[in-house]
């Protein structure tokens, strides 16, 4: 139903196979889970989730934004993972 599903967990199929495969790849390769993230958003709300994520993805060395796909900070090249 268009406009009714804001987050994957609003869908009856959550977590679907497609999301499951993506989640598995990201858990293995990048150490993060979008299914866990979605469960957290459902539990604590998007605002608190974003506050926490903003902290989590900030470089401790320079305050730059960390990218999930890169093990180095793209600003200062600090190896963070
Ligand atoms: Zn940095």
Q: What pTM did the predictor assign? A: 0.85
Average pLDDT, the chain: 94
- Rounded to whole angstroms, how far apart are CA atoms 46 and 64? 22
Structure tokens at 20: 């499951």
Q: Tell me the CA end-to-end span of the chain in Å, nearest whole number.
A: 40
Distance of CA 65 to the CA centre of its chain: 14
Residue 67 CA to ligand 1 center (angstroms) comes to 11
Residue 53 CA to ligand 1 center (angstroms) comes to 16
Contact 58, 65 (CB under 8 A): yes
**Per-residue pLDDT for 63 more than 80?**
yes
**Per-residue pLDDT for 2 more than 80?**
no
Going by pLDDT thresholds of 50, 70 and 90, the confidence category of residue 1 is low
Contact 30, 68 (CB under 8 A): yes
Going by pLDDT thresholds of 50, 70 and 90, the confidence category of residue 56 is very high
Residue 68 CA to ligand 1 center (angstroms) comes to 13
């Amino acid at each position: 139903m268009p406009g009714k599903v804001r987050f994957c967990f609003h869908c009856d199929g959550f977590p679907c196979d497609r999301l499951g495969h993506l989640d598995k790849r990201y858990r293995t390769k990048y150490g993060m889970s979008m299914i866990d993230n979605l469960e957290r958003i459902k539990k604590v709300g998007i605002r608190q989730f974003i506050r926490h994520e903003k902290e989590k993805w900030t470089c401790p060395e320079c305050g730059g934004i960390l990218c999930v796909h890169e093990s180095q900070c793209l600003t200062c090249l600090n190896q963070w993972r």
